[in-house]
Amino acid sequence: MSPLLLAVLIITVALAFDFLNGFHDAANSIATVVATRVLTPFQAVCWAAFFNFVSAFLFGTGVASTVGKGFVDLNLVTPYVIMAGLFGAIAWDLITWWWGLPTSSSHALIGGYAGAALANAACRLGFVNSYKALIKGQWPTTVAFIVVAPIIGLVLAYCLMIAVYWMFQHSTPSKMDVYFRKLQLISAGLYSFAHGTNDAQKTMGIITGVLVTSGFLPRGQFHVPVWVILAAHAAIALGTLSGGWRIVHTMGGRLTRLKPRSGFCAETAAAISILFATWLKQPVSTTHVIAGSIAGVGSINRFKAVRWGIATNIVWAWILTIPASAAIAWVSFLVIRLILPAAVM
């Protein structure tokens, strides 16, 4: 297969993953605004998709650079490695979508990318040297943010709820909701904006990695082309338009019961957390953050208001995401190698 045709094929798969990311994570963008009945599901996905796309040029490409070159040794990355990594991420996303679990597409992508690189290193350097595919890079910070990001969302949401109750202490709940049904349009848009700018950049990083390893960009130059930025944001926006109703049910109704005021606080807290991480050039899980924020607003009245059994299942899915997607990507690379021995060249 010619380098150009292979690059086009892998970029197509990457954009399919980005579409699936929007489809899978649409629930995170719209769960609260649908659960509170501020918008219908169709209105909500259109609203979210619009802000997914308009975030394209406002936060740079720092996250893309982190994903593309911050986790694995590019000398052990080939287009086939990237293809296998995408297969691992897509497979895990589809599995968890079917189960209705709001797992992280971001960490599935990172895990798949790392697993495929490890498999390539094992084939070229021997199994005991497969670890050489990984670099310290951004791993410590990214792994830390798996825990830190949802905690930030939870604490911010909890504090925002306290502030709201203090400001509206003389108002009835129905009067509060008149205001917050309008304000939730802003918070939902802000959250979708944050989701778009962080998540689309991860696909940008993968596509740029394809261009570098295929020889279409110099290895010493990791610069994201404008057309890649537009394509990634268009794909994630189209994916969001397609929705993900299984996960909406888990996030918007089963985890805790939401009102417009609590939905506003959850979305605002999650958006602030994600934009902070994006400013730090860190790929975080928008899923983790919004789940933490929803738990934060749910626990403001009483601890048992949050269905912690469901939350525990979600956490287990988070823990398994990187190793599971890495394992699938490892097997995918071995299959590609059997079909195309040149995959390890």
Query: pTM of the entire structure?
Result: 0.81
**CA 301 from chain center: how many Å?**
29
What DSSP line would sit under 13-51, residue for residue? HHHHHHHHHHHHHHHHHHHHHHHTTSS-HHHHHHHHHHH
Residues 6+ apart with CB under 8 A from 86: 10, 13, 14, 17, 109, 112, 206
Q: How far apart are CA 331 and CA 85, in angstroms?
A: 10
* Sequence letter at residue 208: T
Torsion of CA 159, 195, 55, 234, to 10 degrees: -160
DSSP for 64-100, please give it. Answer: HHHHHHSSB-GGG--HHHHHHHHHHHHHHHHHHHHHT
C-alpha dihedral, 242 to 246 to 287 to 83, nearest 10°: -60
Q: Decide: 252 and 34 in contact? Cβ < 8 Å.
A: yes
Domain residue extents for the chain: 3-344
* Per-residue model confidence (pLDDT) at position 15: 93
Packing angle between helix 173-213 and helix 260-279, nearest 10 degrees? 30
Residue 235 has what pLDDT?
Answer: 92
pLDDT at position 239, please? 85
Phi, psi of 183, rounded to the nearest 5 degrees: -65, -25
Q: Give backbone dihedrals phi and psi of 72, rounded to 5 degrees, phi first.
A: -130, 155
pLDDT of residue 61: 86
Tens digit of each residue's pLDDT, the chain (345 residues): 678 888 999 999 899 888 877 876 666 667 667 777 777 777 877 888 888 888 887 878 888 888 888 888 888 888 899 999 999 988 988 887 777 666 677 788 899 999 999 999 999 898 888 989 998 877 888 888 877 888 899 899 999 999 988 888 888 877 887 888 888 889 888 988 998 888 889 889 999 989 988 888 887 777 889 999 999 999 998 888 776 544 444 444 444 466 788 888 988 999 999 999 999 888 887 777 887 888 888 777 655 545 555 556 556 666 788 899 999 999 999 999 888 776 555
Vertex 174 angle, CA 169 and 180, to 5°: 80
